[in-house]
A and B are shown apart, each in its own frame.
Chain A
C-alpha cells in the first residue's frame, strides 16, 4: 500500500469524523467522535466556573473476540 493511498483513506476517515460519525476499521478498531458537554468546576478562588462543551476523537481498539 503506497503513501498516497494511506493519505487518502486518512483524509476520508477524518471527514467522517468531522461529520460526527464513527469509523470502524476491521482488524484494528473504531474511531469515534466523542462529545463532552459543558461541565462545571471550581477555580482556585472557590468560584463555580462553567466550561464550554468539547468534541474529541477516541480510538477503541478491536477486541480479539470481535474479529470474525
Chain B
C-alpha cells in the first residue's frame, strides 16, 4: 500500500476528505515522533509499542496481535521429519550399556581372583573409571573398604560373598553397615570365650532377620507398582471411552453438523463478516483482492472473539486448536483398485489418513473452503477438507492436497509442484 492509498483509505473509513485525512496522518506522525523523542516509547493500541533507542525505532508487537496475525496457522504443530538420527543415537547408547555390563563382569571376575594378571589390571583401571564416572555406584564399594580396614579377614570374606551375590543393589549400602558394626562389637567381645557361641548365634539371627526384610521389602513393592499400573490403565481407558473415542468416532461433533456449522459461524460473527483469509497463493491473488474488504471484517471478528491475555505469546498459538479428521473423504469402496494408498493424485483414501498432507489454505468460511476443495478435487488431486476448532479463532477450514506416508515424500512432491498451484504450503499430519 502506498502513502496515497492509505490516505484515501483513512478518508473513506472516517468519512473525511483526502486533505483532512492527509492532515490527520501528518499529525499522527508528528505525535509519534514527539512521543518517541520525549519518552522513547509510544503505545499503539492493539498494535504494539514503538520504541526508540540508539539503534533506531523498533516495534514490539502486541502479544494478542501477534497471535491474531497468525490465525491461519492455528493448530499447526512442529512435526518430526525423520527420526533416523534418533535411532542412531539409541544404537550408539546400547554398546555403552554392554561395556558397563562387561566391566561389572570383569569386576566380579576380579573379586573371584581370576589368575590372568592383565585382566586384573584392566579391571582395576575400569573400576576406577567407573567409580569416577558413575557416582551412583560409589556408595557400594566404600562401606566395604571401610570394613576391610577396620575388621579382620572374617568380615572381608563376608563382604566378598555379598558382592558376588548382589553387587548392584543399592539398598544393601544402607543395610550392610549396621550388621557389620554389630559384628564389630561382637568381635571386640571375642576374648570372653563363653559368649562366643552366643554371639555367633546372635549374628546369625540378626543377619537372617536383616536379610529377610530385604525380600519382604522387594515383594511389598510389587503390589504397589501393580496398583499404580492398574490406576494408570484405568485412567487411560476412561480417557479413551469418555473423551477421545467419541471425538474419533464422530469428529464432526467438534463443530456440529454442516448446517449447524454454517449457522453457528454466522451467529458468531456479523452476517457481513463471513469472509476468508488465505495463505498466499499466486493462483488466487485475484480472489484475495476481491475479498479484501470481507477479509477485514473477518479480522475484526477475530479480534473481538478472541480472548487473549497480555502474557500470551506467539508460541502459544498452537495450544488451543483441535484439528479433526478430513470430513470430505470418500469411502474406500469408491477408490479405484489400482490406486496406491498414498499419493498426490486420485481419490482420497481414508486408510491413508494416518499420513501427511500439504496444507494450502486455512479459511474461516466453510463455503469458500468447499470451493477450494472442489477446485483441487476436480483437477485430480486428493483434496482434503479438515475442520480446525480453535478456541481463539473459532471454526476454520483447512484445505490440503495429497496423502503421503512420510513427510519426506510430501516434501519431494511439493518441490515438483508448480508454484502457481502451491506457492506457500505447510506439511502437517492428517
Contacts and interface: CB of A to CB of B under 8 A. Distances in A.
Given A25-B32, A31-B47, 12 more contacts: A1-B24, A14-B47, A17-B69, A24-B2, A47-B85, A48-B80, A49-B81, A50-B427, A54-B73, A55-B69, A57-B65, A59-B59
B117 interface: no
B45 A47 contact: no
Contact of B68 (A6, A18, A40, A46): A18
B70 A6 contact: no
Contacts of A42: 85
B428 interface: yes
Nearest to B280: A35
20 contacts: A1-B31, A6-B28, A6-B44, A9-B28, A13-B44, A16-B9, A19-B277, A24-B6, A25-B29, A27-B26, A27-B30, A33-B69, A45-B86, A47-B85, A48-B85, A49-B80, A51-B78, A55-B72, A56-B314, A59-B59
Contacts of A46: 85-86, 88-89
Interface string B125-149: 0000000000000000000000000
Interface stretch (B202-210, B230-238, B249-257, B293-301): B293-301
Nearest to B50: A59
Interface string B45-74: 111101000001111010001101110110
A47 B66 CA distance: 28
Nearest to B2: A24
Interface string A4-29: 01111111111111111111111111
A20 B285 CA distance: 12
A17 B44 CA distance: 14
A18 B31 contact: no
Contacts of A50: 78-81, 407, 426-427
Contacts of B428: 52
Contacts of A27: 26, 29-30, 33
Contacts, number: 159
B25 A26 contact: yes
A37 interface: yes
Q: Give the top 4 A-B pairs by smallest Cβ distance, nearest first.
A: A59-B59, A52-B76, A46-B85, A18-B299
Given A18-B68, A45-B85, A1 B78 contact: no
A12 B280 contact: no
A52 B319 CA distance: 13
Contact of A57 (B1, B2, B61, B279): B61
A6 to B, nearest CB: 7
Interface of A: 1, 5-29, 31, 33, 35, 37-38, 40, 42-43, 45-59, 61
Contacts of A19: 277, 292, 295-296, 299
Interface in B273-308: 277, 279-280, 288, 292, 295-296, 299-300
A15 B296 contact: yes
Interface in B300-334: 300, 314, 318
A54 B210 CA distance: 64
B197 interface: no
A10 B89 contact: no
A23 B1 CA distance: 6
B197 to A, nearest CB: 63
Nearest to A57: B61
Contact of B57 (A1, A6, A59): A59
A47 B3 contact: no
Interface string B396-414: 0000000000010000000
B196 interface: no
Nearest to B35: A6
Contacts of B27: 1, 5
B3 A26 contact: yes
Interface string B107-139: 000000000000000000000000000000000
Contacts of B31: 1, 6
B424 A8 contact: no
Contact of A10 (B2, B46, B66, B86): B46
Nearest to A25: B29
Contact of A26 (B26, B68, B296): B26
Contacts of A22: 1
